[in-house]
Structure 1
């Protein structure tokens, strides 16, 4: 039994409906033969077997058609469920109509529609099933509706109507609640995987920083000794001294940033001050690159921490790398404010994101010819810590567009 359920669990909704219909066809044939030859009921075999044969042909054609079709939409599922209602209605019509005990099987297509169809499709299938029951009740012979039997059949119809409403509402609500729970669970797992990556990157970064401290200190001592010996090419030694001091400053800044992130220190920052810092970094670090800064007239206050500016610098660095092979490439930095949100767009003149990359935006670590994509992962994580979001897209004129959105504390 478990093996059979596991096989059904891997089927799509269409294939599951086709498999259930194939099983129901076998059950229908067995029941028709049993009530005809064992119970000696007077059932018109020719029309009943003709309907079963049509059902077999329809199921075979549907199976052949949907094997070639990769995607199955709600319309396909609705057509199959409406066909089931129609086939069941015809079989019931020739086997007792509304008096047949199997008329409650009309609830099965409603239950499947409640799980797999939107509200409009569910309403269509449910109304069709109720209308089918009503027509079967309406076409019953008058000699059957004698005495208290008329009230009994009407009561059965009311009970079916109530059951259809309950199944439509309750099953649909439970199905949507389960889907929402699965979506939240998938998002939680994705966040857990992202946190594990960040922790692994943080451990690796801390180890590299610790390992670099000793060699840099040794180089600093050697450079001091070279400067004291008054050797030739003192300019080269001074340049080396500046580079080593720059490395020391970077290590010191990394330690301070790590400490602030560890203690979760947040502060408020003006948008114009943040943009000025970013522009100063661009002019000093990439003097050969072209930048166009567009500032908003509305100055706002943002929530920030020590990781916000490095996250913005990572985005700028990626945009500059994208313009390496582009002549007259420009990196545009556009600041906007809309409602309660502050936007910063970084637009490069490169080739933009590939379709495969845009389809996998949930996984920000994507290797490319310029790097491993770790900077985007770190930038996105830093921005999410500040209740912001990072959006990747392609510009209409070419190039990639990275949009940073942060909530405004006050204007």
Structure 2
């Protein structure tokens, strides 16, 4: 059992590692998409700015050289747009080289339009801000160093802006106007894209926190399974001993001649058999079949037998049980008789019976894709804090030490089968627990785990 638990933990760790890697890859792709959108804004802004400056202020610019630079930026953007679709993972170095390309294009445009005297030189701060948010420390400092070198080079190497002799504006006036436009552009883009990137990173942290919580819950399940299996094994020997002793008592003259004692011995044997059944169920749920083969059944037979066994062991005045299967499904549709699923359904029914001893309803619907189950009762319903923390361990209003594990196990077993569990309070009173899982998870050869 310990080896099985370790193997289960390793499989769970592998699944969690894959999910964490998927979450990080998704964030990388989203960040790359944000950079692509920013570049399209840059392309449009650069074209409009060049056209506006040339037409309104008659500034002489090397339009052919600047058009070539903008074409390079468009090609870089198209490459960045389609590259993540061909490669699932977007690494930080890819974002780093993308930012380096943006810095190079901006530097080339500034070289053609006044160098460091161009007020749009402060757009370097936008690249530095994005690097600080998207890259590691040393990569960010490399972007800082690159922009500093480019800024310094533009103070010496550039093509000066040229105004016509009859221009009504001076270079200083255009510089002040350009600074105003650059400030508004920098501020607007930073607000928009920093908020977007922050939202992406916050979503990543939430997904990672959820995965870590699942890791804690699965670890708790493994430890509970080890405890339950160990207890079941330990109980097997004394129960067998009790069964032998009671059999000997039944044959002894002191008991054989007294019917009232024989009746009590029969009751004791029945309780021992019930304990053995419970122990067997625990071992089955833990993955140890005690030599018994895996059962194959149909959805309706599985549910009918489950309800019949549950009714036989508990006093239920009224249980409204209904099974509905789509007409197009074959009546002999085969599924695996999953003992863990049976146990969690009985757990939900037990909770409903405890809340509503006089009446409860159990409705099952089987479609081609889904097996849906609903348990309703007329009890007091769930407390708000229980609904808010559905499926979390030790969330109980019964006041019992270690309570609140029933729904925790229900949620986790159904989730392991690829399904979901919801709970709600009904308007007319009582509560409704809905369980839904893909029928493929119970199909023969399906990818379910007991």
Higher relative contact order (CA 8 A, sep 6+): 2
Distance in 1, Cα, partners of 2:276 & 2:338: 22
Question: Which segments of 5 or more consecutive residues in structure 2 lack a partner in the other structure?
Answer: 1-118, 134-167, 444-450
Match of residue 431 from structure 2: 400
Instruction: Give me the whole-angstrom Cα distance separating, in 2, the residues matched to 1:353 and 1:389.
Output: 18
Tell me if 1:181 matches 2:204.
yes
How far did residue 237 of structure 1 move?
A: 1.2
Alignment partner of 2:280 out of 245, 252, 258: 252
Contact kept, 8 Å, 1:257 with 1:307, in 2: the verdict is: yes
- Aligned to 1:342, the other structure's residue is in SS state strand
Instruction: Tell me the residue number matched to 2:346.
Output: 313
Among candidates 372, 393, 418, match of residue 343 of structure 1: 372
Partner residue of 1:238 out of 241, 251, 266: 266
The question of whether the paired residues in 2 share the 8 Å contact of 1:350 and 1:399 is answered with yes
Distance across 2 between alignment mates of 1:266 and 1:364: 30
**Where does residue 163 of structure 2 map in the other structure?**
none
Q: Which residue of 2 aligns with 1:224?
A: 247
Report the CA distance shift for 1:268/1:184 in structure 2 as closer, same or farther (over 3 A).
farther
Distance 2:367 2:429 in 1: 25
Conserved 8 A contact 1:314-1:375: yes
Determine the C-alpha separation between the residues in 2 that align with 1:213 and 1:196. 26
Decide whether the 8 Å contact of 1:340 with 1:408 is kept in 2. yes
TM-superposed deviation, 1:258: 2.0
After superposition, the Cα gap between the structure-2 partners of 1:268 and 1:380, relative to the gap in structure 1 and judged at 3 Å, is farther
Q: Is the 8 A contact 1:261 1:307 kept in 2?
A: no
Alignment of 1:16-95 (within 5 A): none
Is 1:358 paired with 2:358? no
| TM-score, normalising length: structure 2 | 0.53
Query: For 2:295 and 2:249, how far apart are their aligned partners in 1?
Result: 44
1:323 aligned to 348, 356, 372, which one? 356
Find out whether 1:291 has 2:319 as its counterpart: yes
Partner residue, 1:383: 414
Residue 353 of structure 1, CA deviation? 0.5
Secondary structure of 1:383's counterpart equals: helix
Shift of 1:146: 4.1
Determine which of 218, 223, 229 is the counterpart of 1:206: 229
Is the 8 Å Cα contact of residues 391 and 410 (structure 2) preserved in structure 1?
no
Q: Is the 8 A contact 1:353 1:393 kept in 2?
A: yes
SS in 2 for 1:259: coil
**How much has 1:282 moved relative to structure 2?**
3.2
Q: How much has 1:269 moved relative to structure 2?
A: 5.6
Q: 2:173 aligns with which of 143, 147, 150?
A: 150
- 1:178 and 1:261 map into 2 onto residues whose CA distance is 46
Asked if the contact 1:260/1:306 (under 8 Å) is kept, the reply is no
The more displaced of 220-229 and 170-179 is 170-179
Partner Cα separation in structure 2 for residue 213 and residue 157 of structure 1: 83
Equivalence map 1:74-153=2 (5 Å): 146-153=169-176
Cα distance in 2, alignment partners of residues 391 and 350 from structure 1: 17
Matched, 1:159 2:159: no
Contact 2:322 2:362 in 1 (8 A): yes
C-alpha displacement of 1:396? 1.4
Distance 2:185 2:294 in 1: 57
Instruction: Check whether the contact 1:260–1:305 (CA below 8 A) recurs between aligned residues.
Output: no
Cα distance change of structure 1 residues 288 and 313 upon mapping to structure 2, 3 Å threshold = closer
Give the conservation status (yes or no) of the 8 Å contact 1:289–1:320. Answer: no
Q: CA deviation at 1:366?
A: 2.0
Question: Is the Cα–Cα contact under 8 Å of residues 341 and 405 in structure 1 kept in the other structure?
Answer: yes
2:316/2:359 contact within 8 Å kept = no
Alignment partners' CA distance in 2, 1:188 and 1:297: 35
Pairwise mapping of residues 256-295 of structure 1 onto structure 2 (< 5 A)? Answer: 256-259=284-287, 270-295=298-323
| Cα distance per residue 1:37-72 (max 9 Å; x no partner) | xxxxxxxxxxxxxxxxxxxxxxxxxxxxxxxxxxxx
Instruction: Return closer, same or farther for 1:246/1:361 CA change in 2, 3 Å cut-off.
Output: closer
Unmatched tracts of structure 1, length 5 or more? 1-100, 116-144
Give, in angstroms, the shift of residue 344 of structure 1.
0.8
Total equivalences in the alignment: 267
